[in-house]
Amino acid sequence: MGTQKLVCGLFLCFLAFNCFTASGSQPKRKLVTEEVNVLRHVSKQLGKTNWNFSVDPCSGKGNWARPSTDKGFQSYVECNCSFHNNTACHVISIVLKSENLSGVLPPELHRLQFLQQLDLSRNFLSGTVPSKWATMRLEGLALMGNRLSGPFPKVLTKITTLSNLSIEANRFSGTVPPELGNLINLQKLIISANELSGELPKTLAKLKKLTDVRISSNNFTGKIPDLIWKWTQVEKLHIQGCSFEGPIPSGISALTSLSDLRLSDINGRISFPPLSKMESMRTLILRNCSLYGNIPGYIGDMKKLKNLDLSFNSLTGEIPSSFVQLKKVDFMYLTRNMLTGPIPTWILKTNKNMDISYNNFTWESSGPSECAQGSVNVVGSLSSEADKLSRVHSCLKKNFPCADPSKKHHYSLYINCGGKEAIVNGTKYEADVEPRGASMLYLTQTWAFSSTGNFMDNDVDADIYIATNTSKISIPDSELYTTARVSPLSLTYYGLCLINGNYTVKLHFAEIIFTNDSKFTSLGKRIFDVFIQGKLVMKDFNIEDAAGGPGKAIIKTFVAAVTNHTLEIHLYWAGKGTTSIPTRGVYGPLISAISVDPNFKPPSFGDKNARVKIIAGVLAASFMIILVLGILWRKGWLGGKASMYDDLRGLDLQMGYFTLKQIKAATKNFDAANKVGEGGFGSVYKGLLSDGTVIAVKQLSSKSKQGNREFVNEIGMISALQHQNLVKLYGCCIEGHQLMLVYEYMENNCLAKALFGRDVQSRLKLDWPTRRKICLGIARGLVYLHEESRLKIVHRDIKASNVLLDKDLNAKISDFGLAKLDEEDKTHISTRVAGTIGYMAPEYAMRGYLTYKADVYSFGVVALETVSGKSNTNYRPKEEFVYLLDWAYVLQERGNLLELVDPNLGSEFSVEEATLMLSVALLCTNASPTLRPTMSSVVSMLEGHTAIQPPISGHGLSSASSRYKSTRSNFWQCPSQVSINGTFSDSSESIQDKEESEILLMKNSVISIQ
């Protein structure tokens, strides 16, 4: 028995020894040496300094490990060690998120042949994607939130194994290459928040496996492509802030798997898209999509819907009764439509966030009589019929009138937006600390604010509408900038019960969320629009760019006319900028403070009757002064220069006034280095105001024969005009014998210089989408002048040198010195000829017969120049052709119109769009004014909403009757017969009008008073 125990013990010891030696002799699983060396190179190029190579990267130990406590921060390398009988490892995944790596993308990564996932999101990497990456077999690539730049990296289109691709929030530019359609395995495509442009390639229709597509905040042009109906598996589709044109393709009805659809800011007039089969819809945003008609009742059948935004459209009819079934909806925004009928009772009783403000609802006894400061926003929601109802609070009425007529005596306003009460330079800024903002009205006795929207995708329980600075603030009056009010969609401040008159409005901004360092938190881009009194005053405003960096204050100053005792300041997010830096859900308007001061001497108030008498007296006296000055001026009794200066000082126009000291400081005493142009008016200088605003100062030359009258005319015209395609007049300077106009600064000078400037180096390389955008911008500006503005105006001098280009190459019409009022009760104006040879319509040039069709003719010439890149007056293809326009007619008759397209474009243009543009241009230059289209028709044709009218034979001078041919030889070939005063820096000279301008000033001032 003892022997058996001994044998068993020895046997067990033998087995244990064998097991020990077997396990001890097995080689360790390690990353192959070649890939270790690759990681060493990668660490140097990325700037990844804390990888510890004394530990095997595949060991899962040290800083190679996966765990992370910081939200959004991830750093690990993942390996597959199943190779060579589990003895060799290869890297299959590298994730380095939110590490602020400041290097470049390492070309050596292509040597990691087994790498499948690469995530370098939220770093500070620069450069572009290395060409060597073409051989990689990645399945997932995330480069979101870096500084990568250059054209869309075509190398990515060669990685055909990709299923997920994100290059969001970088600086890639140019068009999306057709080769992207080769990535047929793509399921996720995220290219939002770049600088991509042009039309989307049709080859994207091949990406039939897509489930997630986000292309927002780019500069795409054209229509939303019909190809989207091919993406039948797509669940998430985001197209916001891209300036696409309608319609929304009807093929969208095929995307029955959609659960998250976000479309915004689409131009045109668009019917509601067919979405009845979208049973999985959870988020539906169709904001500012130019929708018209009724809201479909089937929206109420979307049982999973949680977010609904149909705001900023032209929807009519009643809120569908089926909406009461939307039990799961947390946020519903129907603001700024034209909805009618009574406000449903269930909306007024809900505890969900619902905004139905700014509509045309009818008031019933069961309806609201005041604006509850809860989760339902009804400000301005009633039709104008409610204006007469005394029991209805003014906040429900249009334009938010003053609730108590006896209190219409406020004349200033100071708000510390998002902050506590503050005393700054002796001025008290009122506190604004209301924490809510999804759908609400906050009301005080003198001011109010209306806030709309919830921050999407931020994964927090409660949105934060008051931002606190994360960037270092070291600026004067810092108590105004350490906090700010933010909004994800729309934020409107109201000044209530103000005395009517002109006010200087100062909007205080400082970007306090993004940082001023070399971290990914500095890469955010906040872009929004600003409206004052319903007029767009800042388009695509970027606080950081305007101020020169985060944590720096910028004050934007405007002049606003208060005519109904209420001032409205509206900030709107148009879907542009980043939404993922520093975290998801950071975007939208931000404002630090508001100050409003009168441009008049505030009256001293006694009793009520005295106030009425004072106000009536001021208005009457102002009107009589302007009227008398106008009559005296017209009679010639105020012809002297000195009296003109005095008269101009007394005019209460809608603009600001600058001192000569301010102008000299801004232009560095008119330093020659700041001179940017020369015209018949005088010199133009670039300047920088103390608040950081870049300006252009147009200085009247003492030698100019054009100046005085045009100076008056230009002030009168532009002070009454506000449009995104008209250059903005900040104000003027009238001091001593100095006459100056202060405009917004246009970074890219004028269209003439961009296309055919004398200095070839100064010409801009304008691609086709940009040229088309410029022509549309000019057309829209003229539509406003002719049809939409209070004063119907004929510009009379539309030409390439009077079209200015901002930093984004948006066209803005300038130089209103020759503009004329178009009297509505007259078919035309008979006037002395004024304009520029080569751009003037024949009936106006020869007979002084002026209608708005003269501007239409000039637009046609400018459009022709823009497409061809040639000057109408300086380009002569053959001796027998006087102008480019002549040659265009000949090519049209020959069927070779596309020969006019600028050779510099090569084949990079849309044949269809170029043909349309040229055809419309020639239609506009018809010799008969009655056969020219209106500018609104021109816009409709260029946008594809209206078919182009067929060409009419004999419409051009070249092919017209002998009468027109004699006209051409008598006038166009002999322009010297017309007296020309003044010279321009370009070759186009303007003929000066001899008529006075004071009638316009009187008329404009009367409008201001009314």
Quick: pLDDT tens for 394-439.
899 988 998 876 666 789 999 999 999 999 999 999 999 999 999 9
Banded model confidence at residue 985, pLDDT cuts 50, 70, 90: very low
List the end-to-end C-alpha distance of the chain, in Å, as a whole number. 123
Domain formed by 405-598, architecture = Sandwich (2.60)
Is 328 marked as binding a ligand? no
Banded model confidence at residue 878, pLDDT cuts 50, 70, 90: low
Which residues, 6+ apart, have CB-to-CB distance to 35 below 8 Å? 57, 90, 91, 111, 112
Domain spans in the chain, listed from the N-terminal domain onward? 405-598, 621-745, 751-978
Q: 935-942 vs 768-783: helix axis angle to the nearest 10? A: 150
Q: What is the average pLDDT score of the chain?
A: 83
Which residues, 6+ apart, have CB-to-CB distance to 918 below 8 Å? 863, 864, 867, 888, 892, 897, 898, 900, 901
Contacts 24+ apart (CB under 8 A), 965-971: 967/842, 967/846, 968/882, 971/842, 971/845, 971/846
Average pLDDT over residues 912-929: 92
% of the chain residues with pLDDT over 70: 80
Does the domain at 621-745 match CATH 3.40.50.880? Answer given as no
Instruction: Give 590's strand partners.
Output: 486
Task: Please tell me whether residue 794 adopts helix, strand or coil conformation.
Answer: strand
pLDDT at 642: 45
User: What CA–CA distance (Å, rounded) separates 479 from 351?
Assistant: 35
pLDDT at 819: 57
Q: What are phi and psi of 608, to 5 degrees?
A: -60, -45
Written as one letter, the residue type at 861 is V
Residue with tokens 């404009």: 1004
Better-predicted residue by pLDDT, 631 or 730: 730
Question: Among candidates 79, 117, 75, which has minimal Cα distance to 96?
Answer: 75
Written as one letter, the residue type at 164 is N
**459 is a catalytic site residue:** no
User: What CA–CA distance (Å, rounded) separates 98 from 802?
Assistant: 48
3-state helix, strand, coil in the chain (%, to 5): 30, 25, 45
- Answer yes or no: is pLDDT of 722 > 70: yes
Quick: pLDDT tens for 515-552.
999 999 999 999 999 999 999 999 999 999 999 999 99
Which residues, 6+ apart, have CB-to-CB distance to 224 below 8 Å? 239, 244, 245, 246, 247, 248, 249, 263, 266
Better-predicted residue by pLDDT, 970 or 768: 768
- Answer yes or no: is pLDDT of 657 > 80: no
Topology adopted by domain 751-978: Transferase(Phosphotransferase); domain 1 (1.10.510)
- Cα dihedral: 29, 34, 37, 38 (round 10): -110
Q: Find the catalytic residue in 212, 260, 767, 797.
A: 797
pLDDT at 591: 98
pTM above 0.85, yes or no: no
User: What CA–CA distance (Å, rounded) separates 343 from 116?
Assistant: 55
